Structure 1
Amino acid sequence: MMPISAVRTSSSRLTPSNISPTMIPAKIANPPSTPSSTDKKLSFPSGTRTTRFLYMRCIVPHACSQKYGPWSIVREKITLMITYYYKTLRSEHVKELDEYKSGSWICATDPSQTELEYLIDTFKLDAGHLQDALDADEMPRLEQEGDLTYIFVRYAYTNEDLELSTAPLLFVVGPNIFLTLSLHSLPRLQRFLTGKVEFATTQRTKLVLLVLDQIVDQYEDFINNISRQIKVIRSRLKSHAVENQDFIDFVLIEDELNEFLSALLPTTAILRRIMLGRHIPLFEDDQNIVEDLLLNNEQSIEGCRSNVKSIVNIREAYSTIASNNLNRTMKILTAATMFIAIPNVFFGMFGMNVALPFAHEGWAYGFVMLITILATVCVFAWARSKKIF
């Protein structure tokens, strides 16, 4: 039976003020002669992360014992963060167990410190590695501690802001244990629970590889979605319909791709170490799965790099187009200024209130217009010859 330290209790310490009749559904008919605060009963309905009930026998404070009796069953509401899954090759469905059984998959999601201590004490695990798995910035790596192998990877998911992100996942693989520890529920865990992925919890090595395969597939799906988004923006570039928001999206997408790369590149090194067979035992089928994983992981890496390159090319192309359009506009404005300035020089000169030649001649105005037009044409021809515009 799972010890009390393996669950997260939602109620506080029992005192006379917080014990009510609704918390005490029944009295003990024959209490033991020697009181014990460790006598308990756990009832676990099915479900990965559901509200469950803890029935435990406790020593009730004196004030409460006078009202409810010295021994009562106290019901507390809890949320269990550690789940045991069990499936053999002959089993059709995955079983969720109330307590650990050899060959089970121990799935811990965002465990509390009490639950971590339970895992460490019960299964003799390294406390430092389990704490590292709860660090949101932990990078993929592989560690060997005795007969236990600790494999750190990062999986992709959509966060609360609907943005793509990655989070750490720890595998602990040993002769008698298979454990996964993560900050969030695995995005593709339901594929295992609903039978979409054929697996057996008793085949620990293959189960590690199957979970890794689902993680890599998740990366591929996200990368393909990003590729389609980039193509849509690139098609708008041809019609010059790209907006500032598109470039803001590019910045976010580029950050996501770089985060994917920082997770996928170390994963390749981990897969190569696994392929050596020194850390976890590999059979021939397992070897083929690792090779496929390496290939898919490399494809995901190349997909990330290709998308980053596409973003850079689009950004540079749009920058070049914008710069070219700006230069063209500046040339037009320069030409307009010049065509306005040249006539203004002549008309301004002859408009001054001073004595000028031909001031009293009738043809003087036409002569000034002719000089102005000739000067403008000459300047225009010179500018065209110099390819100013």
Structure 2
Amino acid sequence: MITIYKTTAEGLEQINEYESGCWIHVVSPRLEEVEQLVSWFNIPSDFLTDPLDVDERARVEREEGSTLILLRTPKREAPDADIPFTTLPVGIILTQNVMITVSLTEVDVIREVLGGRTKNFSTPNRTGCILTLFLRTALLFMRYLKEINRMSNEVEKNLHKALKNEQLIKLLNLEKSLVFFITSLRSNALMMEKFNTIEYNKMTEDERDIMEEVMIENKQAIEMTNIYTTILSGMMDAFASVISNNLNVVMKLLTTVTIILMIPTLVASVYGMNVELPYQHSPYAFLITMAISGVLAAIGILIFWRKEFF
């Protein structure tokens, strides 16, 4: 799907035909749409297909007078998804005074731009638009990292009394999201450094300040991801031990109860043998047997109680 936008006096508006200074947004393009864009702007077809690969790394490429900037952005998955957050590449193509963005699906950072959550987004100023996308991406990473931290705290509350692996699996899925984040953030950092080197002399003083802020936010997101990954890994190890210990407590209790119940069974089994036994002709034989069983069971309970098996 191809959508064309341009900034006017009323803000970002959708237009029908592309023109100089516009922004062309492409989501999951069909083959004929790719061929149409290639014919319009004479850009390599790889620039339009590479961003559709979910594993594509962030980078900057120049070819045939066009520039491709591949940016890894965070994406919130559906509420019922196993892994709550992933990352997807967004291709930003600069050609013939037009900016083209390409993605496999509608990503969160583009939604924020289209929703008017970004200030001073002017499509004729392509460098400013790119820096805005960089900054919003870094801020989205930060926001989702805080949500991951909140979700891990909720899981932690349920782990104290957990005997099953369900809570640990939730932590594992959160850790997978952090792995996606740290990989994407590091590749974004390398891409931004290269972009800054290439475009530095073309930027205004304000744009250089924004670029510096973008790189600082990205580094902070990397540090936060590393911290949360370390905390989550330690939490998983600790609560794996907690779950194992909880299971051991239950097994110890069951074993203790089984041993206590075996004492009366043993006495009754011995006295039930088909041989001459003491008091077997006494009318109190049953009571004597039960009394011996009860006393031995009580002694066993007392021993286990002192050893804190209950």
Q: Bin the TM-score by the shorter chain.
A: 0.7 to 0.9
Partner residue in 1 for 2:148: 226
Q: TM-score, normalised by structure 1?
A: 0.64
Change in CA separation of 1:289 and 1:347 when aligned onto 2, cut-off 3 Å: same
Q: TM-score, normalised by structure 2?
A: 0.77
The 5 A counterparts of 1:1-389 are: 81-86=2-7, 91=9, 93-145=11-63, 147-159=65-77, 163=81, 164-173=85-94, 176-189=97-110, 191-192=112-113, 194=116, 196-238=118-160, 240=161, 246-277=167-198, 281-356=202-277, 373=295, 377=299, 381=303
User: How big is each residue's C-alpha offset from its partner over 1:35-62, in whole Å with a ceiling of 9 and x where there is no partner?
Assistant: xxxxxxxxxxxxxxxxxxxxxxxxxxxx
Distance 1:185 1:378 in 2: 68
Change in CA separation of 1:110 and 1:257 when aligned onto 2, cut-off 3 Å: same
Identify the structure with the greater helix proportion.
Answer: 2
Distance 2:247 2:280 in 1: 45
Report the AA paired with residue 212 of structure 1: F
User: How big is each residue's C-alpha offset from its partner over 1:153-193, in whole Å with a ceiling of 9 and x where there is no partner?
Assistant: 12233456764443221112357342222223343446545
- CA shift, 1:126, in A, is 1.5
Equivalent residues of 1:250, 1:311 under 8 A apart = yes
- CA shift, 1:205, in A, is 1.7
Equivalent residues of 2:155, 2:170 under 8 A apart = no
Equivalent residues of 2:74, 2:87 under 8 A apart = yes
Distance 2:27 2:292 in 1: 89
Change in CA separation of 1:174 and 1:286 when aligned onto 2, cut-off 3 Å: farther
Change in CA separation of 1:359 and 1:151 when aligned onto 2, cut-off 3 Å: same
Change in CA separation of 1:272 and 1:334 when aligned onto 2, cut-off 3 Å: same
Distance 2:122 2:154 in 1: 42
Unaligned runs of 5+ in 2: none
Higher relative contact order (CA 8 A, sep 6+): 2
Number of paired residues?
A: 305
Percent identity between the aligned chains?
26
SS in 1 for 2:106: coil
Equivalent residues of 2:75, 2:86 under 8 A apart = yes
SS in 1 for 2:74: strand
Change in CA separation of 1:249 and 1:328 when aligned onto 2, cut-off 3 Å: closer
Unaligned runs of 5+ in 1: 1-79
SS in 2 for 1:130: helix
SS in 1 for 2:101: strand
Change in CA separation of 1:118 and 1:280 when aligned onto 2, cut-off 3 Å: farther
- CA shift, 1:204, in A, is 1.9
- CA shift, 1:141, in A, is 1.9
Distance 1:92 1:103 in 2: 16
- CA shift, 1:103, in A, is 2.7
Distance 1:176 1:283 in 2: 18
Distance 1:160 1:386 in 2: 51
User: How big is each residue's C-alpha offset from its partner over 1:86-137, in whole Å with a ceiling of 9 and x where there is no partner?
Assistant: 45xxx45335444333333232233332222232233221222222122233
SS in 2 for 1:167: strand
Change in CA separation of 1:332 and 1:199 when aligned onto 2, cut-off 3 Å: closer
Change in CA separation of 1:367 and 1:346 when aligned onto 2, cut-off 3 Å: closer
Equivalent residues of 2:200, 2:208 under 8 A apart = no
Report the AA paired with residue 198 of structure 1: N
Distance 2:80 2:270 in 1: 68
Change in CA separation of 1:288 and 1:352 when aligned onto 2, cut-off 3 Å: same
User: How big is each residue's C-alpha offset from its partner over 1:268-298, in whole Å with a ceiling of 9 and x where there is no partner?
Assistant: 1111222323688333332322222222223
- CA shift, 1:232, in A, is 2.1
Change in CA separation of 1:309 and 1:195 when aligned onto 2, cut-off 3 Å: closer
SS in 2 for 1:139: coil
Equivalent residues of 1:342, 1:376 under 8 A apart = no
